[in-house]
Amino acid sequence: MKRSFTYIKPILLIVIVAFLYGFAEKRHKYRIISEINVKFTDTENLYVTEEVVNKLLIQNNSSVSSIDKETLDLNRVESLLNNHNMIENAEVYLTLDGKLEAEVSQRKPIGRVLGNSSFYLDKNGEIMPLSPFYSARVPVMFGFDGSNVAEAYPVLEHIRRDKFLTHHITGVRRLKSGKFLLELRNMDFELYFGDSSNVALKFNNFKAFYKKARKENKLNTYKKVNLQFGDQVVCTKK
């Protein structure tokens, strides 16, 4: 009898452990989500609000307390966020203490088209709708529509990455010829850029011209500065 109990004891122990594990797993599975936390990777400009994200996270349920871990489909919720036209990327996960976390990266506009239809061009070269919550301070674009806005992407992306250009260039105008005219802050002359070829070279030439003309106090003596030739800056005086 004693010998039989020796064999039964480990089996009984396994059964108890399996029961406790199953019970804990069941409780964990049906545990109610205690809190929702939304983190924006860039909080400077909110083109989509935390409230909007929350509504997508709870899948139109009226209360967070009504959602359990079994009901929640993380892949579906993540897809809903990623399909939102103001969100570039979202990652959704559950913490061990029952919190639903979402890390959201917004799309970033680099230019704003004004015309029959208004929209942004984002940093990936794609059309982005205007936000009802925030208006981006980016160069304004004239003469563009959905069919030709991508032409200006190399120019605008270079402006976005350069602090000097971001400060001084306020607009991009597309001429009937398809060439670009850049509008400047607090300067009287026109900046003729040409097409979107040799972007880095043209802007480096412009910065060198600006530095020299400012040092010599001649910025106000020009009515047109032409960068289209790439290897030189051609200036027309007033």
| Residue pLDDT tens, the chain, 238 long | 445 545 455 554 554 545 444 444 444 444 556 678 888 987 667 898 888 888 887 664 444 444 555 556 778 888 889 999 999 999 988 887 778 888 999 999 999 999 888 999 999 999 999 999 999 999 999 999 999 999 999 999 999 999 999 999 999 999 999 999 999 998 989 999 999 999 999 999 999 999 999 999 999 999 999 999 878 899 999 8
Class of 109-237 in CATH: alpha beta
Does domain 35-106 correspond to CATH entry 3.10.20.310? Answer: yes
Q: Measured between alpha carbons, how far is 91 from 104 in angstroms, rounded to an integer?
A: 7
Q: Measured between alpha carbons, how far is 206 from 158 in angstroms, rounded to an integer?
A: 13
pLDDT for the residue numbered 202? 96
Structural tokens at position 134: 């925030």
DSSP code for 71: T
pLDDT for the residue numbered 63? 45
**Domain edges within the chain:** 35-106, 109-237
Question: Which of helix, strand or coil describes residue 199?
Answer: helix
Q: Write the CB contacts of 23 (distance below 8 Å, at least 6 apart in sequence).
A: none
E strand or H helix at 79: helix 74-82
Structural tokens at position 13: 């122990």
pLDDT for the residue numbered 11? 55
Strand order of the sheet with strand 87-94? 35-40, 99-106, 87-94
pLDDT for the residue numbered 25? 47
Q: Write the CB contacts of 135 (distance below 8 Å, at least 6 apart in sequence).
A: none
**How large is the C-alpha radius of gyration of the chain?**
29
Q: Measured between alpha carbons, how far is 113 from 54 in angstroms, rounded to an integer?
A: 30
